[in-house]
Every structure is written in C-alpha cells, then in structure tokens.
A and B are shown apart, each in its own frame.
Chain A
Amino acid sequence: MATNQATNFSHPVSDDTAEEIKSQEMLLNMGPQHPSTHGVLRLVLMLEGETVVDCTPVIGYLHRGIEKILENRPVMGGIRYMDNADYLSPMLNETAYAGAVEQLMGIEPPRRAQYIRLLTNELQRIASHLVAIGTYGLDLGAFTPVLWTFRDREGILSLFEALGGSRFNVNYMRVGGVLHDFPRGWLKECEVFLDQLEKNMVELDILLTANEIFESRTQGVGYIDQQQAVAYGLTGPVLRASGINWDLRVNRPYMAYREVAVRPQVRQEGDCFARYMVRMQEITESIRLCRIAIDKMPGGAIGTRTPIALRPPRGETYFAIESSKGELGVYFISDGGEYPWRAKLRGPSFVNLQILPEMIRGHKMSDTVAILGSIDIVLGEVDR
C-alpha cells in the first residue's frame, strides 16, 4: 500500500531518529476531475501531513482555442464565441469585444445602448458574484448558500432570456449597440427583481458572513499584501481586497460609466474574507448602479447602423473593461478585412490564478479550496 502511495515524484524526508519508519511527502493530484477546483483545473499538491508544501497549477484542460476561432469568424460573428470565454459573465465578455471593435472603428454607441450595456453588465456582475459567493460557501462545506444564490441568479438569467432570447450564451451585444430593445415591462420586472435581491442578500449575509466558522475559516487565510498583488498583476475584487483602489470603471471609465459614478469597494485585510466581502459589497453597489441606470435610461436608438459584414480599418487596439473578475481586455488587430487578423483576450482569471501557489504554500489542505475559491476563477477564461 505504502509503496503504491509513493510515486516517483515524492522525496524522502531525511530523519535521523526514525530509520525504519520513513515519512515521505505525498504527491496529490487534485483535479482535473474534482468537485471544487471550479472546473477542470489540476493542482499538483505536495503534502506533508495536511500541510501543503508545494502547489503547481496545471491548466489547459478546457482549451478550445477561442482566440483562434475569433480569427476565423467575421467580426460580428465573434461576439457569440466571447460568451464561452468566461461563461459566468457572457454580457461582460461581449461588451469588451464590441468595445474593442468600436474603439478601432471610432464608433460611439448611442447613449441608450450605453446605458443598456451598463445595466446588463451590472446585472451580469451580480450574477457572477452570486455564483462566486455561493460556490465559495460550498467549498467551505456550507450547502445552503449555493442554492440561495443560484435561485437569485436564476432571476437574472430569466431577465436575460426575456432580453436576448437566451439565458446563458446571450449573444446580445453588437458592434455599435445592442441587439434588441427592452421588451414591454422589462424594466419594471428588473426593479422588482432588484428589490427582492436586496432582501435576499440580507438573508445571505446573516447566514454566511456572520457565521463564526465561516469567519475563522477565511480570516487571515490566503493573505496577499499590496506589493505582491500589484507585482502579480492582479485585478478586480482580488486586488481591491488587498487595499488597492483600482477599478477600471472609475480609473479608466468607458461607455456610460463616464456619466455614472461608481463607488469602488476596497478592503484592507487582503485575506479570503476580504475578497468575499468585496464581492458582497460589490453586489450591493451593482444593485445601486442598476437602479441609477433604470432611472436615467435615455431614449433613442439602441445602436448605430453598421453592416453585418463589418470591415474594421487597418490597425490595432486594446480595450479593457472591469469584468466581474478583474480587467478583461481585448487586444484586436485588423488588416482591414472581414475577419480579425488577431484577437487576444486578457482574462482576469488567468492572471489572478498565478498567485495561487504563493498563497497556498504552508497552508492546510482544507485551505487550498478556500483560497482557490476566493480567487474566483473560471476555467473557461483561464484556458480559453
């Protein structure tokens, strides 16, 4: 048995006192099929007892070549494939892609389209954070939050279904605007949903945030200091939880965010609890932004007239938005043809994942999932 456990990778620990009983570090392949690696991530853990000595993330199990696919599709057709990059926030992905093309072509979408984008983006951010928080509870062994948050997320998906015809791969954004205007009564429904969500969030707060076990599992675990966070290029809630006030919606405002003031949520602790709390606060903030967008929703066209067969001018551009996980950038090169010459995504999950080994080292094995869950990665975006 013991010989089975020991693989070629494990190194015997030198021990003078016990010569017969040798203790070895254990190599544990966590994933790619594992309940809480949030997809097909594989972590090669080196364990000494329950303590993690070393951790190597292995990625690429979900690689579908999205960037290559984008090069082989007409510019407008690429939007549909952006849904599958970060499959928990398709609206945000589409906004980034459409924004990049618009920036290259010098199109400014009408104000109404911009506000629709803001509204859908914030709803999507809420949905994404709800999944992050719910599955984070599940990682820590709390079974109820995930079902509550998925119930709330269901409301958002239904709203999207009414808007774009599809719950998940919405394919709603277009270069120069959006696909459809709101169906009748949609905004009213949205308001009702936001009121309900606000109540549900209070409930969730009582269940999870105020729980002493939850606090002791997350506080002080997986600490990232400010220098480290910046050095690793972290963005999004993970960065803001380390006390750095950096939010693209504020610092590089785009589209309707130039008119709507966002209050970035920052916490100083830098641990898993801070990252969780930043997401909780961002949900509240997003609800506020949604209400503002509904109130200020201007009239007019929902898009500029653009041909289906778009031919962006020669050139390159980089356009980044604040996705639910951080800076989601699209680097777009056009050779003047119908297809993009190159489209490159800067996925926040991919960049944020880099710091994982640094954080996990020295923690207990149970903390591995707590830390991994707190980064909130989506493997679809990491592998693309």
Chain B
Amino acid sequence: MIISSMLVHSVSQASNTNIWLDILQFVVAFLSFFGFVLTSAVILILAERKIMAYMQDRVGPVHTGPWGLLQTVADVGKLLMKEDIHAAQTDKTLFILAPSVFLAPVIAAFAVLPLSPYVGVPGTALATGIVYYVALSSIDVVGIVMAGWSSNNKYSLIGGLRSAAQMISYELPLVLALIGVVMLTSILANTGLGTISIRDIMTYQATSAYPGRGVGFWDFVFQGFTPWAWFFLQQPLMIIIYYICGLAETNRAPFDLPEAESELVAGYLTEYSGMRWGLFFLGEYGNMTIVSAIASFLFLGGFSGPGVAFLTGLNNIGWGLLGNLLAIGYFVTKVYLLCFVFIWVRSTLPRLRADQLMQFAWLILIPVTLFNIIVTALIYLIMNGLGSPNWLFQIVLGIVNFAMLIGFIYIVGRATVATTRRAQAPAIRAQRRANAAGQLPEKTSAGVARGGQK
C-alpha cells in the first residue's frame, strides 16, 4: 500500500497534477488510514498486553506465535467466529447499529491527518482540520449511549450515561487546549490569520532558522525539522491537558468509568459479544491512536524528522519515496510513543469517581485552559506593543507556560488535599468530640465493652 502510494507520488510529481491522480491519491490515502487504524489497533492491543505484563512482573501472551506475536490475530479470528448473541428485549436496531456508530467516526477522523507529505486526502478537505476532528470525536458518545440504552441492562445504562456526561465535559477543555495552538499559528502567520488545518499547523512548527543553513548535511537534518520550535515547548501545559482530556475521551484509565470493570462489570459493553464487541474494542484503540496522532501533529511536529523535507524536496522519484517512508516512520514512532504513555498511565493509576471526574473537568481543567488563552493573548499584546520579534514572544510564552504547568500541578495537589479534608471532616469532628468528652474507650476489654453501649 505504502509502496504503491509512493509510486503514485512519483508519477504525480513527474507529470502535471490532474484530477485522476487526485482521485488515486484519495483512494490510496483512504486505504492507508483504514489499514493504519485496524493494524495499529491490533499492534496496540498486543503492545499493551506485553508492556503491562512487563510492568506487572509477568510474561503476557507467549503461546501463540513467537513471543505471542500472533495472539491478537488469533483473538480476532475467535471473535469473528463467535455466535452473535442478543439478550432478550434489546432494542435490536440500536443494538446492531451502535458499534458502527462508534467505530465509523474514528476511522473518518483520520481524513484530516496526513501520514506523510504525500499520503493524505488531497484538496481543501484538510483545511477544516481541528474542527472536523473535534466534531467527529464527539460522535463517539452517541454510539456509546446507544449501546448502553439498547442493551436492556442496568450496568450498560449506567455506563452509557456516565460516558455521555464524561465525554461531553471533557470535550470542552480538549477544544480549549487546542485553541492555544491555533492562536500561536495566527501570531506566527504575521497576517493575523491563523489556521485550523492540521498540516498547516505542523508546518508552522518548522522554522527556516537553524544552525548551518545552506550546508548540505545540516539542511538534510534540519530542513522542516526543528524540535526547538515545536509547540509542546511553548504550550507544555496545554499538551498535558489535551492528553488528560484525550484519556477521558477514549475512556482509558484513570477515566475508564463507563466500562469500570470493578463496578459496572463491563459498562456499556456488558451485553456485547463476538465481533460487535470487537468493533467497540477496535474503536477504542483507534481512538487512542487518533488522540496520539493529533497530539503529535499539534505539539510534536507531526511527521517531520531528519531528511523528510529535504528528500521530498529533491523532486526525484527514489528520494521522494524514501522521504515519504521516513515520514511515515517518524509519524508512527511519535504516535506509538504517546500510546505508550496511555498504557503506562493505565498500569499505574486507580480510577477516579464520577463526581471527582466532573469536578476535575469543570473546576480545574476548563478554568485553566481559559486562563491559558487569556495569558497567551496578553503576552502577545504586551510583546507586540513593545515591538519585540516573534521568537522572543515564543520564548517568553514558553517560560510563562512552564510556570503555569508548575502552578497547575500545585493546584491539583491542593484541590485533592482540600476535597479529602472535606470528606474526612466528619471523622475529625467526631474524634474531637470524643476527645473533648473523654469517652475514648480504654485499651482493656472492659473499656471496649463500655464503649459499646451507645
């Protein structure tokens, strides 16, 4: 698939672009996304099992294939062959439709992501970028609520409702966190007109200023690849908040309340089995991939890496192909690094409670992201008023944002302590009362017996 896309790429560069080549590029891009989502789900499931096994002092899957590499393949085969079970009195239409409604937006959301300079949907479709991604990622919740409602199961219902509340709440800080990046592009554009196209945001993270410009080697390395200009350095707090919201959006630990195993059995998935369940699973891991992909584009320079821009800029079929392959490699590496953090977080943290989850979104994340927007704008206004260049603004913004990150961690710590103190208050009060009255039972058995009489 990739090879064929490369060939098309070289052809398109050789001749003038025409409509057929655009269509071919579209088809290639679509197939690539589809393949990428499905294979990455399979790879991620195996990776998660292996990595978590390593962190938990066990071996993970070992029996199917070398090092258990074929485990997920075998699992998918099993799921495909399983009986399609409907519980009694389910709402059949919704029950059958729900997995598709959940999975389709995940795959569709990839449309705005270019995998490499060539493999991406051509034309102006990419221009809607962030808005399109956010819109599609919020359709997911419809699928989950449908599944929860149609299953005719109380656990499913609770899971679906929790999910609705959670995803709607975390959509807001997620978008607000991305606004900081969009503001940055509008400042860097110098025309005051920023972009929401994900590919354009990526190009804004590549500056033309790097050491040794014009020298062949340095050009090869740094053309289009300038990690010091990546937005995660200028908005470190925002990538963390985006990431937290991404965890909540994808229903991953510690925000996996909708499918909280210990409380709701399997939440909205309880009544699903076979491939319908598999579609949900696929959608969840696809969601993980896309959240990581968006983060890597917006904050980590997307598919840029040493050699990509240089090689594809050579206008040579072979080098262009190599450049595209490199780009896909960099992109996939960044995505999987972020996915690794997902897995890492899952094996470390316990689950939050529903009300704590809501408090965290509405009382901490949304104010902080709003504050970040104001601070970004204020710093720009002040720096612009003083007539300073863009790079100085970026440095100051980065420093301020790092300070905000430290403040954020402090605030979260304080908030946790405050809530805990509030929750502990009755115990502390009762203790004081008991101490004041001197009614503490003595250590002897007789004392305990006395204390027992209310």
CB distance from B454 to the nearest CB of A (A): 5
User: Beta-carbon contacts of A31-55 to B below 8 Å, as 1s and 0s?
Assistant: 0001110000000000100100000
Q: How far is the CA of A271 from the CA of B420 in the complex (A)?
A: 11
CB of B102 within 8 A of chain A? no
A368 at the interface (CB under 8 A from B): yes
Minimal beta-carbon separation of A95 from chain B (angstroms) = 21
Select one of A139, A230, A366 contacting B441, CB under 8 A. Answer: A230
Chain B residue with minimal CB distance to A3? Answer: B89
> With an 8 A cutoff between CB atoms, is A244 at the interface?
yes
Pair A36/B154 contact, Cβ less than 8 Å: no
Partner-binding segment picked from B34-42, B103-111, B191-199, B444-452: B444-452
What 0/1 pattern do residues 412 to 454 of B give for CB contact below 8 A with A?
A: 1100100110111111001100100000110111001001101
Q: Give the distance to chain A from B239, nearest Cβ to Cβ, in Å.
A: 21
Nearest-CB residue, chain A, relative to B94:
A1
Residues of A that sit less than 8 Å from B by CB? 1, 4-5, 26, 28, 34-36, 47, 50, 137-144, 147-148, 151, 207-208, 211-217, 219-221, 223, 225-227, 230-231, 243-246, 251-252, 268-271, 364-369
Are B419 and A216 in touch, CB under 8 angstroms?
Answer: yes
Contact B440 A226 (CB under 8 A): yes
Complex: A120 Cα to B347 Cα, angstroms: 33
Binary flags per residue of B151-163, CB closer than 8 Å to A gives 1, else 0: 0101101100010
- CA of A142 to CA of B346, assembled, Å: 8
B residues engaging A (CB < 8 A)? 52, 55-58, 89, 91, 149-150, 152, 154-155, 157-158, 162, 253-254, 256-257, 260-263, 265, 346-356, 412-413, 416, 419-420, 422-427, 430-431, 434, 440-441, 443-445, 448, 451-452, 454
Residue pair B254, A213 in contact (C-beta under 8 Å): yes
Q: A141-B350, A215-B420, A364-B354 are in contact. Are A246 and B448 (CB under 8 A)?
A: yes
Contact A366 B452 (CB under 8 A): no
| Beyond A215-B420, A251-B443, A368-B263, 19 extra complex contacts between A and B, CB < 8 Å | A1-B150, A4-B152, A5-B157, A35-B265, A143-B253, A144-B347, A147-B58, A211-B349, A211-B350, A213-B350, A220-B423, A223-B426, A225-B434, A243-B431, A246-B445, A246-B448, A252-B445, A270-B430, A369-B262
Residues of the A chain whose Cβ atoms lie less than 8 Å from the Cβ of B353:
216-217, 364, 366-367
- A5-B157, A220-B420, A227-B451 known; A143+B52 contact, CB < 8 A: yes
Q: How far is the CA of A223 from the CA of B356 in the complex (A)?
A: 18
CA distance A211 to B345 in the complex (A): 12
Are A1 and B445 interface neighbours, CB within 8 A? no
Residue of B nearest to A266 (CB): B443
6 A-B pairs, CB-CB below 8 angstroms?
A140-B350, A141-B253, A143-B52, A213-B352, A217-B350, A243-B440
Measured CA separation A265–B422 after assembly (Å):
25
Q: Report the separation of the CA atoms of residues A144 and B416 in the bound assembly, to the nearest whole angstrom.
A: 22
Selected from B256, B412, B445, B454, the residue in CB contact (under 8 A) with A251 is B445
Residue from A147, A243, A244, A271 in contact with B57 in the complex, judged by beta carbons closer than 8 Å: A147
User: By CB atoms of chain A within 10 A, which of B52, B352, B423, B444 has the most?
Assistant: B423
Query: In the assembled complex, how far is the CB of residue A207 from the closest CB belonging to chain B, in whole angstroms?
Result: 7
Q: Please pick, from A34, A139, A215, A246, the residue contacting B416 in the complex, using a CB distance under 8 A.
A: A215
Kindly state the separation between the CA atoms of A55 and B158 in the bound complex, as whole angstroms: 17
Contact B419 A245 (CB under 8 A): no
Q: Which of A28, A140, A246, A367 is in CB contact (< 8 Å) with B154? A: A28
Inter-chain CA distance A268–B433, complex, in Å, is: 13
Once the chains bind, are A245 and B443 in contact (CB under 8 Å)?
A: yes
Contact B265 A34 (CB under 8 A): yes
Nearest-neighbor residue (CB-CB) of A244 within chain B: B441
Q: Which residue of B lies closest to A26 (CB)?
A: B154
Instruction: State in angstroms the CA–CA spacing of A225 and B422 once bound together.
Output: 17
Given the interface contacts A1-B152, A5-B154, A246-B448, does A212 sit within 8 Å of B413 by beta carbon?
Answer: yes
Taking the closest CB of chain A, its distance from the CB of B103, in whole angstroms, is: 23
Contact of B434 among A148, A226, A231 (CB under 8 A): A226
On whether the beta carbons of A244 and B451 are closer than 8 Å, the reply is: yes
Inter-chain CA distance A139–B351, complex, in Å, is 9
What is the distance, in angstroms, from B385's C-beta to the closest C-beta of chain A? 41
Residues of chain B contacted by A364 (CB below 8 angstroms) = 353-355
How far apart are the CA atoms of A215 and B424 in the complex, in Å? 11
A141 touches B254 (CB 8 A): yes
Separation of A147 and B185 alpha carbons in the complex (Å): 47
Contacts of B426 in A (CB 8 A): 220, 223
| C-alpha spacing A223/B162, complex, angstroms | 26
